[in-house]
């Protein structure tokens, strides 16, 4: 059984669960999926992957802090490095940096070396939709994946900057690089660290041509991935199109299989 959690503190979490269920129809049928709502550290600890939904990021982070979930969430993202996907407010929480629209700002979880602008698309037209080609969806041979995806933006954030690699603090993977440990020799605990992945990949952008009215000047970054962390500005959970959920569950599966291989190798040592 593969367990996928949806952070259910605030926002569009049940919509995500709905689409996750829908997505399983396009995945190997011999697999058993369990989708759970996550409100406690214990629930989080059962998850092989986690979705942070759209909603209101300040509220979400306040509730997470009150539920003693902030540190467990940070560990999930950065230490155990299981697949995490944030949509809209979820993307904001996964950023290392965000502009503060309120005094005092908010606590972020981090994991993506980016700075987001929280309400980039502004108030004037708070929501809009755009049909976009999402190249990462065409990684499978299924031709239906090539159809444009209707992206829903609601007071959406944008990735305004990819942050330089933090200097001075050596990340665990850099330390590991220094010692050159062959992956097969790594104990299971080190599995996550073996995943060398310091680059932020831009998976989708939005440009003026994509829009009927000009919300944006140049190319705005609206989807990024850095290793196990994926974030997008829009709300796939508010559509009826499960393709991104299918793609992401595929990523979760790959990560689970990988972890099992390592755990096995570890036991047989």
Q: What is the smallest separation between the CB atom of 25 and ligand GLN, expressed in angstroms? A: 27
Q: What is the smallest separation between the CB atom of 261 and ligand GLN, expressed in angstroms? A: 36
Q: Is 120 a catalytic residue?
A: no
- What pairing do the DSSP bridges indicate for beta strands 220-226 and 229-232? antiparallel
The nearer residue to ligand GLN, 57 or 226, going by C-beta atoms, is 57
Q: Is 88 a catalytic residue?
A: yes
Q: Is 235 a catalytic residue?
A: yes
Q: Which of the residues 43, 151, 237, 245 is marked catalytic?
A: 237
Q: Which of the residues 47, 88, 151, 232 is marked catalytic?
A: 88
The nearer residue to ligand GLN, 195 or 239, going by C-beta atoms, is 239
The nearer residue to ligand GLN, 62 or 181, going by C-beta atoms, is 62
Nearest to 6 by CA among 162, 187, 236: 236
Q: What is the smallest separation between the CB atom of 95 and ligand GLN, expressed in angstroms? A: 11
Positions touching ligand GLN (CB under 6 A) are 54-57, 88-89, 92, 118-119, 154-155, 157
Triad 91, 95, 99: Cα angle to 5° = 100
The nearer residue to ligand GLN, 17 or 57, going by C-beta atoms, is 57
Q: What is the smallest separation between the CB atom of 115 and ligand GLN, expressed in angstroms? A: 14
Report the C-alpha gap between 222 and 202 in whole angstroms: 8
What positions carry a catalytic annotation? 88, 235, 237
């Amino acid at each position: 059984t593969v367990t996928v959690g949806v952070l259910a503190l605030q926002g569009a979490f049940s919509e995500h669960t709905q689409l996750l269920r829908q997505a399983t129809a396009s995945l190997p049928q011999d697999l058993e999926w369990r989708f759970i709502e996550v409100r406690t550290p214990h629930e989080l600890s059962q998850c092989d992957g986690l979705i942070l939904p759209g909603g209101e990021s300040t509220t979400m982070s306040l509730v997470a802090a009150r539920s003693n979930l902030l540190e467990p969430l940070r560990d999930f993202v950065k230490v155990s490095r299981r697949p995490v996907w944030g949509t809209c407010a979820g993307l904001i929480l996964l950023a290392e940096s965000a502009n503060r629209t309120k005094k005092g700002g908010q606590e972020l979880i981090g994991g993506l070396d980016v700075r987001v602008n929280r309400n980039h698309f502004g108030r004037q037209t708070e929501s809009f939709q755009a049909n976009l080609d999402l190249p990462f969806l065409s990684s499978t041979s299924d031709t239906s994946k090539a159809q444009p995806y209707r992206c829903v933006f609601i007071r959406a954030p944008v990735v305004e900057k990819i942050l330089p690699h933090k200097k001075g603090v050596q990340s665990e993977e850099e330390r590991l690089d220094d010692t050159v440990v062959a992956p097969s020799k790594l104990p299971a605990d080190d599995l996550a660290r073996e995943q060398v992945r310091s680059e932020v990949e831009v998976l989708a952008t939005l440009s003026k041509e994509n829009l009927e009215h000009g919300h944006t000047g140049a190319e705005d970054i609206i989807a990024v991935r850095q290793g196990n962390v994926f974030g997008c500005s829009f709300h796939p959970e508010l559509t009826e199109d499960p393709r991104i959920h299918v793609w992401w569950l595929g990523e979760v599966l790959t990560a689970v299989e990988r972890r099992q291989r390592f755990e096995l190798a570890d036991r047989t040592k």
